[in-house]
């Protein structure tokens, strides 16, 4: 097994038309390849996962879907009991 390691020059890569069109939609970004530089797109989000889960659970209860879940569990348990062979 022959493994080859080599350094890649950013100038070797040319972006495809889709990448160029996507990058062109963002103001201040250039799709032209530049030697020695790379454009990195990143975003930061302020996430409150526990708060989002709490809001989802609250909405689930307020919309009445909790009752549909409980009725489904009861009916499923009863149907399982009727169809189970012992």
pLDDT tens for 7-60 read 555 555 555 555 555 666 666 655 555 566 677 777 787 889 999 999 999 999
Q: Which residues neighbour 10 within 8 Å (Cβ) at sequence distance 6 or greater?
A: 33, 34, 35, 36, 37, 38
- In a domain, residue 71? The reply is yes
Cβ atoms of residues 3 and 26 within 8 Å: no
Residues 63 and 13: their CA atoms lie apart, in Å, by 52
- In a domain, residue 63? The reply is yes
Cβ atoms of residues 62 and 51 within 8 Å: no
- In a domain, residue 69? The reply is yes
> pTM (2 decimals)?
0.43
- In a domain, residue 66? The reply is yes
Domain boundaries, position 64: 49-83
- In a domain, residue 57? The reply is yes
26 vs 82: which has the higher pLDDT: 82
């Amino acid at each position: 097994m022959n493994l080859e390691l080599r350094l890649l020059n950013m100038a070797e890569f040319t972006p495809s038309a889709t990448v160029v069109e996507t990058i062109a939609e963002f103001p201040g970004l250039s799709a032209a390849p530049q030697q020695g530089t790379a454009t990195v797109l990143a975003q930061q989000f302020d996430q409150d996962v526990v708060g989002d889960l709490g809001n989802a659970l609250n909405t689930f209860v307020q919309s009445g879907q909790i009752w549909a879940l409980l009725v489904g569990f009861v009916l499923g348990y009863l149907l399982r009991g009727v169809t189970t062979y012992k």
